């Protein structure tokens, strides 16, 4: 088995960066779903005060865009790191 050919195949298909993107987007989806589920269940509780709702909404308003920004940055890094397939003209 030629390890160099396997490494070139893994590099050509960009397996590791794709796995990282899948994990980042999975984290974003799970985090957003869990926070939304938690927040809507918090509203239904009878002993919740207004300051708790305000604090949790502020927490969600800060963390969800930060997590989505992480996913956006990772996607940009993935798209910028690929091979350049542009054909250059010979001089």
Each residue of 19-50: pLDDT tens digit? 999 999 999 999 999 999 998 888 888 888 88
pTM here is 0.75
Cα–Cα dist 80/78, whole Å: 6
pLDDT recorded at residue 26: 96
In contact, 83 and 22? CB cutoff 8 Å: no
CA max distance for the chain: 76
For the chain, give every domain's residue range. Answer: 21-43+56-80
């Amino acid at each position: 088995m030629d390890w160099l050919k396997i490494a070139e195949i893994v590099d050509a298909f960009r397996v590791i960066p794709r796995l990282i993107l899948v994990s980042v987007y999975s984290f974003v989806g799970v985090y957003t779903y869990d926070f939304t589920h938690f927040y809507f269940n918090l509203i239904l509780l009878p002993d919740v005060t207004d300051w708790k709702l305000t604090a949790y909404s502020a927490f969600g308003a800060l963390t969800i865009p930060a997590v989505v920004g992480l996913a956006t940055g990772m996607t940009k890094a993935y798209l910028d790191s690929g091979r350049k397939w542009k054909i250059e003209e010979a001089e």
